[in-house]
Structure 1
Amino acid sequence: MLIDGFGRKVDYLRVSVTERCNFRCQYCMPEKPFSWVPKENLLSYEDLFKFIKVAIDEGIKKVRITGGEPLLREGLDEFIKMVYDYKNDIDLALTTNGFLLPKAAQKLKDAGLKRINISLDSLNPATASKIAQKNVLETVLKGIQAADDAGLKIKINCVPIKGINDEDVLEVLDFCKEKGYTVRFIEFMENHHAKDGAKGLNSDEIKQRVSKKYENFEIVPRDTSSPAQYYKLEDGYEFGIIEPHKDDFCSACNRIRLTAEGYLIPCLYFEDAMSIKDAVRANKIDEATAILKKVLEDKPEKNKWSVKDDNEVSSRAFYQTGG
């Protein structure tokens, strides 16, 4: 069992396989050139898998593959199968922008993937294009359908940004409600890599938009391991809001992150990290395990998005950690 310095049980590992992305979203990496880390700087799938085995043996029960855009890295289905074959009851999930899913969804399912989170910030083609800085909506919708057809359990992620897609909340909710997908609206997490001046809707503002059509909805008792607070409409449909600015879910944070270059990150907000690259490449598994436990020991109590200070902006590059 993995326990951090504040007594929290850590059983969830998020693994970024690439920092590359084929979108340039306003809230993530709008100005980053289309470049990539040299392949030799990245851990191979085999080396990533060495560490994942350690993590599973130490108590990790959920592994989520992220990026950048993870489907840009070739052979992802083979990597997922490696994890699945090692422990087929692991909760194996993927976060993606959906653009490459039309051709990949069935292969991912066949490899052992169980769940998938897909970004959908608007159902308006022009708005979606403005956010991603390319024409994406039609292909993303095809990707969502392909994941559905493959039998993957789907969650939709939506980041409402003021003046861009803040009036699209209801349409996205209704789309997900009709399709039977869970939608989670995510408060924009201020970071130095986002578009200057970007402002997100907070939880109350998101709920206000939902209430324009659904006047009565009730709070759902929180699953303490979930970053989302869920709400139930009168017909039973539930939607979630992730509220980093309240940091109340930090007290039960069960996550640790591994980047494609081998850095273990204890908290999404902070830059603190330790590298396991040399240890796993040299097959020094005991050393990698010791680094894991040291990172957990130093895991901070909470993020700082709740701090009411314009200077408190995370320098974390989400495209390196998958959010």
Structure 2
Amino acid sequence: MLDQFGRRIEYLRISITDRCNFRCQYCMPVEGLPWLPKQDILRYEEITAIVQQLAPLGLKRLRITGGEPTIRPELSSLVRQLKAIEGIEDIALSTNGVKLPQMAADLAEAGLDRVNISADSLRPDRVARIARRDLGFDLVTAAKAAEDAGIRPVKINVVVMRGINDDEVADFARLTLEHPWHVRFIELMPVGELRELTWDHVVPSAEVLAEVQRMGTLRPDSGPARGNGPAVYHRFADAPGTIGVITPMTHTYCSTCNRVRLTADGRLRTCLFGDHEVPLRDALRRGEPLEPLFVKALAEKPKEHDLLQMRVGGLRALSEVGG
């Protein structure tokens, strides 16, 4: 499970659908994309079979993503299947949170360990404007539902966009004073066809932290006990939650990358913003072993992404690979 640069790969992000009930400005065109044919999308049993073959090689941590994974039926059954695989220690979910109040209890019972909720505003009208859909989403209700179901830690991901939601940084930071939640501010990544959002909309994380520090002194923190990502965390004194920043634009973290991605149609993508992929679906359906393909993929995993050069590996939108 070592790639050609000695990085230990133990984390797989699994996209289970390319569809979403939102059309967030930074993630998907307003008109959507041509959806994958149903027959091309991996069945839950096929996803489980892939993980069963990779777990003995050192795969330990999984994240279920989309599109929006909660719109695919019977999600808890996939969680239950993956949880039963020997060697899998941690299963997380990335979601926009819309369906979380109704689904949290079933997902927790199935074995879901953690959840990341994407929420780019605390104001209902602005949520609808950014998501280009008004589905009545309320972040606090969704996060409390997960917490009450025993899914912890709860992480909240905020993509900060200048002139769009950067005036809410302090409001999100205040959540950590009241709840044991981990609010992570993410630098906007202008990719693919979403050119209405450009470098002019990127708010560097240093600027975000400066705004937060106007509320009080922050001290470095190790963040949640369980986590796989690149966030750097801070905490107000005596606050139950933490504040994190993720900096794909101003400070890359490729040297410590520990992940690969499985697309909804069964392609193993070794870098979010690269163009290197190894198809697994057809080999799986032919009954061929996947270990040689996986070893080959790690041997070709690039040293770093090309996002800063605005080369994004043919992506039209982040929704295609689960972000």
TM-score by length of 2: 0.91
Change (3 A) 1:208 1:247: closer
Asked whether 1:226 is paired with 2:229, we answer yes
User: What is the identity percentage for the equivalent residue pairs of Structure 1 and Structure 2?
Assistant: 36
Asked whether 1:256 is paired with 2:257, we answer no
Mean Cα deviation higher: 91-100 or 217-226: 217-226
Distance 1:34 1:250 in 2: 29
Aligned to 1:86, the other structure's residue is in SS state: coil
AA aligned to 1:239 is I
Q: CA deviation at 1:32?
A: 3.7
Asked whether 1:209 is paired with 2:214, we answer no
Q: Deviations over 1:88-140 (max 9, x none)?
A: 86211100000111211111111110100001111111211111012245444
Mean Cα deviation higher: 150-159 or 24-33: 24-33
Q: Deviations over 1:283-308 (max 9, x none)?
A: 212xx111111111111111233x4x
Distance 1:298 1:82 in 2: 30
Distance 1:43 1:201 in 2: 37
Confirm or deny: 8 A CA contact 1:3 1:296 kept in the other structure. Answer: yes
Change (3 A) 1:80 1:221: closer
Q: CA deviation at 1:36?
A: 2.6
Q: CA deviation at 1:195?
A: 4.9
Confirm or deny: 8 A CA contact 1:169 1:210 kept in the other structure. Answer: yes
AA aligned to 1:228 is A
Distance 1:176 1:59 in 2: 34
Aligned to 2:164, the other structure's residue is in SS state: coil
Distance 2:77 2:159 in 1: 30
Asked whether 1:116 is paired with 2:115, we answer yes
Match of 1:235 among 212, 233, 238: 238
Q: CA deviation at 1:248?
A: 4.1
Change (3 A) 1:40 1:24: same
Equivalent residue, structure 2, for 1:162: 162
Q: Deviations over 1:174-202 (max 9, x none)?
A: 12431210111111112023251342211
Aligned to 1:207, the other structure's residue is in SS state: helix
Confirm or deny: 8 A CA contact 1:31 1:195 kept in the other structure. Answer: no
Confirm or deny: 8 A CA contact 2:221 2:234 kept in the other structure. Answer: yes
Distance 2:165 2:314 in 1: 24
Confirm or deny: 8 A CA contact 1:15 1:64 kept in the other structure. Answer: yes
Distance 1:108 1:163 in 2: 36
Distance 1:272 1:203 in 2: 28
AA aligned to 2:121 is S
Mean Cα deviation higher: 220-229 or 126-135: 220-229
Question: Unmatched 5+ residue regions in structure 1?
Answer: none
Aligned to 2:101, the other structure's residue is in SS state: helix
Change (3 A) 1:189 1:267: same
Distance 1:81 1:63 in 2: 13
Equivalent residue, structure 2, for 1:100: 99
Distance 2:243 2:296 in 1: 36
Change (3 A) 1:247 1:299: farther
Confirm or deny: 8 A CA contact 1:231 1:239 kept in the other structure. Answer: yes
Q: Trace 1:1-323 onto structure 2 (pairs within 5 A).
A: 2-33=1-32, 36-87=35-86, 90-136=89-135, 138-153=137-152, 154-198=154-198, 199-214=201-216, 216-220=217-221, 226-235=229-238, 237-285=241-289, 288-305=290-307, 307=308, 309=309, 311-312=310-311, 315-316=314-315, 317-323=317-323
Question: Unmatched 5+ residue regions in structure 2?
Answer: none
AA aligned to 1:219 is P
AA aligned to 2:209 is K
Q: CA deviation at 1:278?
A: 0.9
Distance 2:319 2:295 in 1: 25
RMSD of equivalent CA atoms = 2.2
Q: CA deviation at 1:318?
A: 1.5
